[in-house]
Structure 1
Amino acid sequence: MPELDLSDDELLRYSRHILLDEIGIEGQTRLASATALIVGLGGLGSPAALYLASAGVGRLVLADADKVELSNLQRQIVHRQDTVGQLKVDSARQTLAGANSLVEVVALPERLAGDALHAAVASADVVLDCSDNFPTRHAVNRACVATATPLVSGAAVRFDGQFAVFDPRQADSPCYRCLFAEEGDVSDGPCATFGVFAPLVGIIGAMQAAEALKLLIGMGGAPLGRLLTLDLRSHEWRSLRFAKDPACPVCAQLASL
Structure 2
Amino acid sequence: MKHGRHENRIMDLRYSRQLALPGFGADEQARLAASRVLVIGAGGLGSSVIPSLAAAGVGTIGIVDDDTVELSNLHRQLIHGMADVGRSKVASAVAAVAALNPETTVIAVPERLTAATALELFADFDLVLDGSDNFVTRYLASDAATLTGIPLVWGSVSQYGGQASVAVPGGPGYRDLFPSPPPPGSVLSCEAGGVMPTVVALVGSIMSTEAIKLITGIGAPLTGRVTIVDALTGSFRELSFAKDPTAAPITSLIDYETFCGASTADGITPATLAERTDEFTLLDVREPWEAVLVSLPGSTLIPLGSLSQRLAEIDSSKPVMAYCHHGVRSAGARAILAAAGFDASHLTGGIDAWAVDLDPAMTRY
- TM-score clears 0.5: yes
Structure 1 residue 26: deviation in Å? Answer: 0.2
Distance, in Å, in 2 between the alignment partners of 1:42 and 1:112 is 14
SS in 1 for 2:117: helix
Matched, 1:85 2:86: yes
**Contact kept in structure 2, 1:230 and 1:236, CA below 8 Å:** yes
Secondary structure of the structure 2 residue equivalent to 1:238: strand
Report the AA paired with residue 87 of structure 1. Answer: S
Q: Deviations over 1:30-56 (max 9, x none)?
A: 100101100011111101101000001
Residues 147, 251 of structure 2: 8 Å contact kept: no
Pairs within 5 Å for 1:105-254? 105-168=106-169, 171=170, 173-186=171-184, 188-250=187-249
Name the SS of the counterpart of 2:44 in structure 1.
Answer: coil
Please state whether the residue corresponding to 2:74 is helix, strand or coil: helix
Unaligned runs of 5+ in 1: none
- For 1:197, give the aligned amino acid: M
Cα deviation for residue 248 of structure 1 reads 2.1
Q: Which amino acid aligns with 1:66?
A: D
Asked which structure has the greater CA Rg, the reply is: 2
CA RMSD of superposed structures (Å): 1.8
Query: What 5-or-longer segments of structure 2 have no aligned partner?
Result: 253-365
Deviation of 1:223 after TM superposition, in Å, equals 1.9
- Give the match's secondary structure for 1:30: helix
Q: Distance in 2 between matches of 1:162 and 1:154?
A: 6
Question: What is the aligned-residue identity percentage?
Answer: 39
The CA distance in 2 between the partners of 1:76 and 1:212, in whole Å, is: 20
Structure 1 residue 251, shift from structure 2 partner: 5.2
2:36 and 2:200 mapped to 1: Cα distance?
23
Q: Is the 8 A contact 2:45 2:131 kept in 1?
A: yes
Cα distance, 1:22 vs. partner? 2.2
**TM-score under structure 1 normalisation?**
0.91
Deviations, residues 93-138 of structure 1 (Å, cap 9, x unaligned):
1111101011001110111112421122111111110001111001
Aligned residues: 246
Q: Does the 8 Å CA contact 2:37/2:129 hold for their aligned counterparts?
A: yes
- 1:245 offset after TM fit, Å? 0.5
**TM-score of the pair, normalised by structure 2:** 0.65
One-letter code aligned to 2:86: G
